[in-house]
Amino acid sequence: MFTFQVKQKDNSKILSAFHLLIALILILDLLGVRIQEKKDWVFSAIYFISSVLLLILGIFSKKIFQNLSRHLPIFLYESALIFCGAIFFWSKGASLVSFSHGILAGAIVLFWIYFKRRINGEKIIISETHIILPGLSGDRLVTWNELTNVIKKFDLLTFDFKNNKLLQVQITDADTINENEFNEFCKQQLAVKNK
């Protein structure tokens, strides 16, 4: 059995832009609040402090967050904040704004789930019976008879499917596995399973 670690993309710019977008949404919400009661003051103060904090985090995220795991609590905080905004606007009678904030809070939770799954990276596991490939919603199980060729060349792992699809993945631990030994293993499995 062979296990490969897939090279992860640098998501720092996307996450910085996402935090800045949420800060902008909070600022726009503040502009729409008419302060009449004490709860309006509390809501406005929390939103203002949070928007300033998220602006700082978005601008300086490369210095503050060295890895993806530090973004995860911020996602939960943003989701809770937007959901509280949905409840606040619902109490004010702005049902459309409340509904859109509820959808945004749910989308942030889905982001959190996606990045939580990717925190340890993605792995490809190749055994005598099957291959496990990472997917967006879950792992995909591929049998050897679905493939025409599997080859490792330097830091690229290539899967050639019988339905003319080609999948190439860049791996990080390319030097730990002997290339000739792995390619010979794949040839043997393909020869046995495709008879």
In 3D, which of 173, 185, 194 has the Cα closest to residue 124? 173
At residue 55, φ and ψ (nearest 5 deg) are: -65, -45
Could you report the per-residue pLDDT of 82-119, keeping only the tens digit for each?
Answer: 999 899 889 888 888 889 999 999 999 988 888 887 77
Residues of the chain with CATH 2.30.29.30: 123-193
C-beta separation of 172 from 7 below 8 A: yes
CA dihedral angle for residue 144, residue 121, residue 168, residue 161, rounded to 10 degrees: 20
Read out DSSP for 100-160?
Answer: HHHHHHHHHHHHHHHHHHTTT--EEEE-SSEEEE--SSS-EEEEGGGEEEEEEETTEEEEE
Could you report the per-residue pLDDT of 22-44, keeping only the tens digit for each?
Answer: 999 988 888 877 766 777 788 88
Which 8-state DSSP code applies to residue 35?
-
Q: Does domain 123-193 have CATH number 3.30.300.30?
A: no
pTM reported for the whole predicted model: 0.68
